[in-house]
């Protein structure tokens, strides 16, 4: 009999996992505690932007393989394997992760599990969380054949469908041959394609995701630290990055210099990792991550400084165009967005700031309603004294400097992502500045 899967938490991770598992042919029932979200998803209305996912959602709903509910009772009765995909945001005023949504999901599900079941955590958590939740399951579940496994997600926003259907690796933290067998069955299609599955203990599986994010954040901050050195010496950080990328021990991924990282994963994950290391008494092992975080924040301050210098030292009464609100292209996620942080900082210094983003305007308005928002890049740039490119959307990279130049009050641009060709823009009469370049 084919496995039936459930997904608890229908946000970005959960909705993606549920739709993609249904795309592979499984019957999937997904739960969320927000009725409005469930209603939208059940109607095929994706409440966030993710390329390719709306089509997968529509196909799987139409096929009948995917359904949504608000009922834990229905989830418990339906599923053989229950994936828990709730959020673990950073606690307000702290570095530590807030796992209260995860605790609530397990405590709601466990008392209803009256038959053999596998509960699989996919959330990013502090190491040691799985051990604690396994104890909660044992204490609350009526059936003695209920167990926990941990299966961290490795989704990249903008590529989540690809990363779910064709991942580069699958990691499962398990304590029994049965749990590993069930997860190998769940991921049989990916394994058949050649995706390696690594079975580990709980702690290792929890550490894989945060360790990967800490490494990637370190790589980004390393090249941005080199950008600071390049600015002091007149060197070109983009050429330095190219040279480093040719070393096959280093590689070019996550070595793009610029405004730094943001979003809902890297910043909160490295901070939660540091907090957990402190709780375990090994905080010195991760002390370098404090500088990784500090370098990342300094890039935002430096961007504001570069723009101010172009405006003769003051933003007061000047018009500033910010191209980008999402923390990265192909996403509408504005959590910890460097672009929005810069826009707000400049506005606080007296500028009239107008922001445009192809997908993230609605979310940006919710978190920063006092900013102005344009309906297009040209609209946002009209009459501006300086343009800041802060999210490297393709449409911004493809802007014609002459067309844009006809709309601005002065041809000044700061390229926060090193996404433009300086020679082309300077040939069109623009004063061009970028982080880490002469």
Neighbouring residues of 90: CB distance < 8 A, sequence distance ≥ 6: 96, 97, 98, 267, 268, 271, 272
Residues 216-248 as b/e (b if ≥16 CB within 10 A, e otherwise) read bbbbbbbbbbbbbebbeeebbbbebbeebeeee
CA distance 403 to 406: 5
Rounded distance between C-alpha atoms, residue 399 and residue 93, angstroms: 40
- The dihedral formed by the CA atoms of 126, 160, 249 and 274, expressed in degrees to the nearest 10: -20
The values of phi and psi at residue 319, to 5°, are: -105, 130
How far does the chain reach from its first CA to its final CA, in angstroms?
65
As annotated, the active-site residues are 265
Strands (E), 204-334: 319-323
**Strand locations in 306-393, DSSP E?**
319-323, 352-356, 372-373, 386-389
Helix axes 202-233, 266-279, angle to 10 degrees: 120
Q: 79 — alpha (psi -120 to 50), left (phi > 0) or beta?
A: beta
């Amino acid at each position: 009999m084919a496995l039936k899967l459930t997904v608890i938490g229908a946000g970005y991770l959960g909705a993606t996992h549920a739709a993609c598992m249904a795309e592979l042919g499984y019957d999937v029932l997904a739960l969320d505690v927000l009725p409005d979200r469930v209603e939208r998803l059940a109607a095929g209305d994706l409440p966030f932007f993710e390329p390719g996912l709306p089509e997968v959602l529509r196909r799987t709903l139409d096929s009948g393989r995917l359904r949504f509910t608000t009922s834990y009772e229905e989830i418990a009765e339906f599923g053989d394997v229950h994936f828990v995909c709730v959020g673990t945001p950073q606690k307000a005023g702290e570095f530590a992760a807030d796992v209260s949504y995860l605790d609530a999901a397990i405590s709601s599900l466990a008392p209803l599990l009256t038959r053999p079941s596998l509960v699989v955590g996919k959330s990013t958590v502090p190491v040691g969380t799985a051990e604690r939740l396994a104890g909660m399951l044992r204490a609350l579940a009526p059936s003695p054949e209920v167990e926990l496994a941990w299966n961290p997600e490795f989704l990249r926003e903008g590529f989540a469908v690809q990363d779910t259907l064709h991942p580069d690796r699958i990691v499962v933290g398990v304590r029994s041959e049965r749990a590993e067998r069930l997860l190998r069955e769940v991921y049989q299609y990916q394994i058949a394609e050649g995706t390696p599955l690594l079975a580990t203990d709980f702690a290792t599986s929890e550490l894989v995701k945060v360790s990967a994010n800490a490494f990637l954040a370190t790589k980004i901050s390393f090249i941005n630290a080199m950008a600071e050195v390049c600015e002091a010496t007149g060197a070109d950080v983009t050429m330095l990055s190219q040279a480093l990328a040719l070393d096959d021990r280093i590689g070019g991924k996550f070595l793009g210099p610029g405004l730094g990282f943001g979003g809902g994963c890297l910043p909160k994950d490295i901070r939660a990792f540091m907090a957990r290391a402190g709780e375990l008494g090994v905080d010195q092992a991760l002390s370098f991550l404090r500088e990784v975080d500090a370098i990342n924040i300094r890039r935002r301050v430096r961007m504001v400084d570069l723009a101010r210098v172009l405006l003769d030292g003051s933003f007061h009464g000047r018009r500033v165009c910010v191209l980008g609100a999402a923390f990265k292209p192909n996403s509408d996620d504005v959590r910890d967005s460097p672009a929005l942080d810069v826009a707000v900082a400049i506005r606080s210094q007296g500028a009239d700031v107008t922001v445009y983003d192809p997908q993230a305007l609605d979310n940006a308005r919710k978190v920063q309603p006092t900013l102005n928002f344009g309906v297009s890049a040209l609209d946002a740039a009209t009459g501006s004294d300086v343009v800041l490119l802060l999210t490297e959307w393709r449409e911004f990279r493809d802007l014609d400097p002459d067309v844009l130049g006809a709309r601005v009050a002065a041809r000044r641009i700061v390229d926060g992502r090193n996404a433009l060709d300086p020679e082309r823009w300077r040939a069109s009469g623009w004063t061009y500045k970028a982080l880490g370049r002469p």
